[in-house]
Structure formats: C-alpha cells, structure tokens
Chain A
Amino acid sequence: MTGRSMLRLAFVIFVVLMVQQTVMVAVRIDGYHPDLLWLLPITAALLDGPETGAIVGFWSGLAFDLTLPTPFGLSALVGCLLGYAVGSLTQAVDPRAAWLKPVAALTGSVGADMLFAVLGAILGQQQMVQVDFLTLFAVVGVASLVCVLPVSRLMRWALVGESNRRSLVTAQADSRLW
C-alpha cells in the first residue's frame, strides 16, 4: 500500500467514524443503530483482495475501538477477520456481478456483529449476547445495504492505484453497475 493510499485510507476511516458517531448513533430503531464500521473492510476486500481487507479491517476497527466501551482490540480483530474472509470468499467471483456488493455488505455486517458478540461474551462481556439479535441484524443489515455504495466509492478513492486484482476493474466499468 502506498503512502498516499494510507493517508487517504486514514481520512476515509476518520470520515466514516465521524458519520457513525454523529449521525448513525442518532438513527435508532428499537434501541439499535446502524454500524458502518464493517463496511470498511468489506468494501476494501471487494476492491483489493483479502490482504487489504484485513489491513483496513484492523486499522478501522482499532480507530472505532478508541471510542467504544467494549474491549479494546475486539473491533480490530473482528474487522481483520472480516476483511480477510470477504476477500478470500469472493476471489473466485466476477467483481462486476451486480449482487456482489449488497450480498457481501448484508452477510458480512451481520456475520461480523455475530462474531463480535460471541467473542465479547467469551472475553467475559456476557451482556453482548443478551441483545435482540433479530432487530439488531435487521437494522445493521438494511443500513449496510443502503450505505455500501457511498462507502465503496470512498474506499475506491482511498485505494486508487493499488495493484491487486480488484483494482483492475475500472471505476467507470464498475459504476455502470450502480
């Protein structure tokens, strides 16, 4: 990853963090709010493969961990695993497939929340599995579907010039699908 990409990536993480903490936490449905964090590793993995997905997931998770009352490092761990999993599982899929981003956003976000809760419980935070998972998954899933496009655009801008497989898809070709 180039120095310029890193700076852009840091900016994108900061923007998404601020949107999450100022706008998304205010959008509450039955007590639960959307979670944009997971979209960062998902979109990075779709654009640039599992390694970039894992790196973006780690750093974005770490940035979010600084502001959350949950165990420090937990979001970084889940983000890293999520980015790697999404990148690995979608490697054989045509990146231009119209269904790829929404399906990855929906399943990735829900899966990440589930993993986050289970790992939190294993670390002694039993309350993390005492939530209404159906409502949580519905809120997080729908919000991820809605927000995956703008976050993907931001991530494409951040990772422009990266040399891995996904970046070979031109922005113009990909934008036609959306």
Chain B
Amino acid sequence: MARTRRSRRTLTVIVLVIVSLSLISLDQNGRTHSLTSGIKSVANDIYAPLRQGIVDIINPIGHFFAGAFDYGSVQSQNEQLEKVIGQLRANQAERGFEQSQLRQLMALENLPFLQSLTTVPAQTVDLNLSNFTATITLNKGRADGVDVGYPVVGAGGLVGQVIQSFHHTCVVQLITDGQSKVGVTFGNQLTGIVDGQGPGNDLTLDLVPPHTPVYKGQILYTSGLQAATFPPGIPVATVESFHNEAGASQESITVDPAANLDELAYVDVVQWEPPT
C-alpha cells in the first residue's frame, strides 16, 4: 500500500516536471514562443484590470494609515500647529510631485534625438515584478500601437526595449537588465556594446580595443548599424570610469545610463522597427 502510494507520488512529480520542462522549451523555441506569449497575453488582459482595481483600493488605505501614524506622533506636542504644518507639507509634497511629473512630461515633449520618429507616451505602472530582471510595465499595449521590439526612451536617452506586448500593457526590458545589449557609437566612428549587468549593477561598455581614447562624461549613442535593434543617435550612456589591464583583450569601461532610470513615471515608446 505504502509502495503504491510512493510510486503514484513519484509518477505525479515526474509528470509535472516533464510538463514544466515542455512549457519552458515551448517558450524558448522561436516558433512556439508566440503560443506561450499568447497565453500570457490573455492572462494579462484578465489580470491587469483586477490588479489595478486592488491597487486603487489599497493605495488610499495605505495613504490613510501613513498619514495617521505621522499625524499622531506630532499631535501630542501641538495639535493645532502641527495640523497646519502637516497640511502645508502635504500641499508642498503634492505640488512637488505634480511639478516632478510635469517636468518629466515636458521633457518628453521635445526629445531632440527622436527627430521625426512617432512615439506613444506611456505611464509606468509597475517596476521589476521579478527580483531577477530589470523591467518596467507600461500602461500601453498592442491596442495603442505598441509592439515587441520597439525602443523606449525617457528624458535623457534610451530606457530599454519592449519585450512583451499585451492588449493594454507592455513589459519593457531596461538597459540595466543582464540580457540587454545595445550597439553604440562614440568618438571618431568607434563602436562598442553597452552591456547590462543586472538590477543595481553598473553598465559596461564592451568590445572596445585596449587604449582606445575615451574620457569621463563622453556620451555613447545608439549606432543604428545594420541589424541594429535601435534607431541611430539616441543617447544611451555616459562614460563613468575606464582603465586598461595588462594583457586584456579590451578596455574595461564602466558607463552610466543617460536617462534617469530612477524617474520613469512617464516614457515614450518609439514606433520604430529595424529596416528589413
């Protein structure tokens, strides 16, 4: 009896592992990837409004408790005065937040590097849903003309690229993600690859021969070379530090993103596809 139960248990686990591995291989396979992304898309269309509804309910409750704790701690000292100060601070913070958002929107209005490219303005609704990826979720999707592969820019430069597009949302892989690689050009027709090193880590500039002249603050632009996944001329990063190690096959260069990736409330999705 115990043996039968053990055999059944083992069989169940083996079947589940095989199904999981099959799903992974379907997702990894280029031809069947559309199947898994389709399933994800349908699930996202159902899940996104539910999630947004819960966020809309939770946020005011969170704000209420946060306000109550702050207010309670100062009330014992001087209730009336602190109330006024609290209101002033709230107004100021609110105005500061609005000004910050306005500043970001204004900055997106005239991005010089976009020239005649058409864009879809979008708002960030989520940041890094997984601990292992550097991604953001935007409130625009296929219904708004946003497709997989489109570049995403913010004030200052390149933010990333759309890797999943659902009906009304999309997921953007940031240039800091470990999977992100951006072909760049700098100086006198020099080229390299800006390589993401994962969330919280510095970007590196790879494939640059030793002793190539670079300087701190030098701006790197998307190269737009053949088969490039970004249009040319978008600022990607600035050189932060560099050094040459003896015997190394390339110069060791650390770069900072040109766009402020800490302020991504609003971004522009560029409706651009690589020329075929």
Contacts and interface: CB of A to CB of B under 8 A. Distances in A.
Contacts of A33: 128, 131
Chain A interface residue count: which class?
A: 35 or more
A50 B9 contact: yes
A105 B192 CA distance: 45
Contacts of B9: 49-51, 54
B16 A70 contact: no
Contacts of B21: 73, 77
B8 A51 contact: yes
B16 A127 contact: no
Nearest to A84: B13
Interface stretch (A19-27, A94-102, A145-153): A19-27
A125 interface: yes
Interface string B27-67: 11000000010011001100100110011001000000000
Contact of A31 (B58, B135, B173, B200): B200
Given A35-B131, A51-B8, A69-B130, A130 B198 contact: yes
Q: Which of B164, B173, B198 has the most CB of A within 10 A?
A: B198
Contacts, number: 136
B58 A116 contact: no
A117 interface: yes
Interface of A: 18, 21-23, 25, 30-33, 35, 49-51, 54-55, 58, 61-62, 65-74, 76-77, 80-81, 84, 113, 116-117, 120, 123-128, 130-132, 136, 140
Interface of B: 8-9, 12-13, 16-17, 19-24, 26-28, 36, 39-40, 43-44, 47, 50-51, 54-55, 58, 126-135, 163-164, 171, 173, 177-179, 196-201
Q: Considering the complex of A and B, which 7 residue pairs feature the smallest CB-CB distances, nearest first?
A: A127-B178, A73-B23, A130-B198, A77-B20, A72-B27, A66-B43, A73-B24
15 contacts: A30-B200, A31-B199, A50-B13, A51-B8, A66-B40, A69-B163, A69-B171, A71-B24, A81-B13, A84-B13, A116-B132, A123-B24, A125-B132, A130-B197, A132-B200
